[in-house]
Amino acid sequence: MIQKIKIATIDLYNNEPNEGMRCIRDIVRETSEFYLNKVSSASDHKVQIQYDVFDTRYKGDIPNLEYDIFISSGGPGSPFEGEGTKWEKDYFNLVDKIWSFNQTNDEKKKYIFFICHSFQMMARFFQIGEVDQRFLKSFGVKQFTKTDEGSNDLILSELTNPLYAADIRQWQVVNPDYSHLNELGAKILSWEVPEEENKDNPALGAVRISNEIVGTQFHPEADPESMLYHFRQQERKDYIVNRYGEQTYHEMIAWLEDPLKIKLTRKTVLPSFLHNAINELTEIKV
């Protein structure tokens, strides 16, 4: 039996050069190969994945509910930049449709993962906390602590605590609305390890809205190659050295080759989300 799964990436990079879209594409390709090869050879099930990209922020393209799984990308600048624009209205309308669909369908649901910029958009839509500008840019390999819920969550359970992830942002989600989170049934999965300037008010690292809807403020898709791309840019190297010192800069680069840091996050978080979604949509147990 052949079962087709349609995956859509919502590109919010606004035509800015980036490594994020490549990383997402690579993870989807690896997932597709896993189900075509390992799963197909072990059972009568064949899972065929269709993958499409929608340039939402730059071109206004938006997927429809024909897709089963959505990955909403990171992106530059403010999560309020698109206020009042057609693309933003269409984006929030899609999120609303996914949420509403899942409330009224008990069987096959729609799955969506929000990354960084999209995480901040998710926070705006679900009103789970304050979205504001960070006290300074965050760039590099950063640490995030897992909550008890995060330690048991499928996307983070296999990671160390603290976990290590690529963090590239100027905005943040802080001061969670616990009352509203409880109403939604949402759970905070992780927090950033704060710096001195925000030690009493760290940003959220990951939140699960529901079984099907989850997001991270960090970049789980980032691989060592993508981070080296950023570290080699003189402006970003200077930023880290001036902020944290030369030793920290080289330490972050060394972390890229550590199998328990960026590599583990990359091979665990988004792949676990995709595998769980596909398994539940196809009723395959792997």
Collapse the DSSP code of 16 into the 3-class scheme (helix H, G, I; strand E, B; otherwise coil) and give the result.
coil
Q: How many residues does the chain have?
A: 286
CB atoms within 10 A of CB 125: 15
pLDDT profile of the chain (286 residues), mean per 10:
92 96 98 83 78 98 98 97 96 98 93 98 98 93 97 98 96 97 98 91 97 98 93 88 91 92 97 97 78
Helix (H) or strand (E) holding 181, with range, is helix 178-184
* Matching residue, tokens 């583990």: 264
Contacts made by residues 158-161, CB under 8 angstroms, sequence distance 24+: 158/264, 158/268, 158/272, 159/264, 159/265, 159/268, 159/269, 160/260, 160/261, 160/264
Domain ranges of the chain: 2-133+145-159+171-221+266-282
The architecture (CATH level 2) of 2-133+145-159+171-221+266-282 comes to 3-Layer(aba) Sandwich (3.40)
CB atoms within 10 A of CB 202: 17
Tokens in use for 254?
């060394």
* Matching residue, tokens 């901040």: 120
For the chain, helix (H) and strand (E) counts, in that order, are 11, 9
Q: State the pTM of this model.
A: 0.95
Is residue 276 within 8 Å of residue 154, measured between CB atoms? yes
pLDDT at 41: 60
Is residue 31 within 8 Å of residue 271, measured between CB atoms? yes
pLDDT at 164: 97
